[in-house]
Amino acid sequence: MKIFAEVNIYYYMRIRLLFFLSLLIINPFTALVVHGQTQSYNQINNELDFNRDLSQHWALEFDAGQSWTTLPGHSNIFSSLAQLYGRAWVHYAPDDKWKISFFYGYYFNKYDPAIDQRAAPEWRSAVQAIYYIERRRAIISTRFRIEDRHIYNADSVYEAVDRFRAQIKAVYPLNSQYIGWHTVYCIGSEELMFKTSSKVSGSQFFDRNKFTAGFGYGVTKNMQIEITYCNEYIPRAISDNYNELQFNVVFNNVLPRLGKYLFGEKHPEGSSAD
């Protein structure tokens, strides 16, 4: 009976994954059919991530980044500073399969073509859950996030916009079992976003489709560099298509050692990649 139950669970997870993948394929295709005119932008983004384990279940993270973008009629990828942001995270992992997170962040939108926003701030908070389908050499996960955005609009009002994001992601180390020192790994993800109607972000329910692919390299045990290509399709009256080159630097366990004061020392476990 136990074997039969495990088979049923495995079969259920496969069906759910296939259903989710079909949504990722069908929704963007439908959006492309409906919207004919497309405005393309090229962008370059970079982000610094700092995190610290507090205990076996709790962790803190802070990340900061910036984006540069082309403008209509200009081909220079550094035509305008698009966005600056900083976010503070709290992570809770009850077991090896789930991770629950919360962040609060500030975004300064110098020029964000997606919402035609110029020199205006945004306060954003979010709750997300990550479920790990596989956590061996290949790390396959699904992520679900609900964002509460308060965006400064043309009426000088912070307008509330809620957004739901669903992502499937795979990370695969090429020359090691786990991500660590001198490890090269592949990254791939597909994400769908849906939002509420607002003046600043438009009336469309389907917000965007985001595809990401690239590589990472473990410089040290606690530092990784990632270079990825992202394509975002945003259906609007005149749709936007973003080609983005993303540079990320991740620093593990570099925040102040607060864990031993709050939660005690963390007991060592077997190596694993997250």
Question: What are the residue boundaries of the structural domains of the chain, listed by start?
Answer: 2-262
How is residue 266 annotated by DSSP?
P
Q: Identify the weakest region by mean pLDDT among 61-70, 189-198, 228-237, 240-249.
A: 228-237
Residues 6+ apart with CB under 8 A from 218: 179, 180, 181, 182, 183, 184, 185, 224
The pairing of beta strand 58-69 with beta strand 239-252: unpaired
Beta-carbon count within 10 A of 239 CB? 19
The single residue listed with the structure tokens 């074997």 is: 3
Task: Give me the pLDDT at residue 257, please.
Answer: 54
Task: Classify domain 2-262 at the CATH topology level.
Answer: Lipocalin (2.40.128)
Compute the distance between CA of residue 69 and CA of residue 243 in angstroms, rounded to an integer: 10
H or E segment and range at residue 78: none
Q: Of 158, 157, 81, nearest to 125 (Cα)?
A: 158
Estimate to the nearest angstrom the gap between the alpha carbon of 103 and the chain centroid: 12
Compute the distance between CA of residue 149 and CA of residue 27 in angstroms, rounded to an integer: 23
Compute the distance between CA of residue 131 and CA of residue 168 in angstroms, rounded to an integer: 10
pLDDT per position as a tens digit, 123-151? 999 999 999 998 889 999 999 999 999 98
pLDDT per position as a tens digit, 182-224? 999 999 999 999 999 887 777 789 999 999 999 999 998 889 9
How is residue 267 annotated by DSSP?
P
Compute the distance between CA of residue 215 and CA of residue 188 in angstroms, rounded to an integer: 9
CB 211, CB 7: distance < 8 Å: no
Is residue 115 classed exposed, middle or buried when 0-12, 13-18 and 19+ CB atoms within 10 A define those classes? buried
pLDDT per position as a tens digit, 16-39? 454 444 444 444 444 444 445 678
Identity at 244, one-letter amino acid code: E
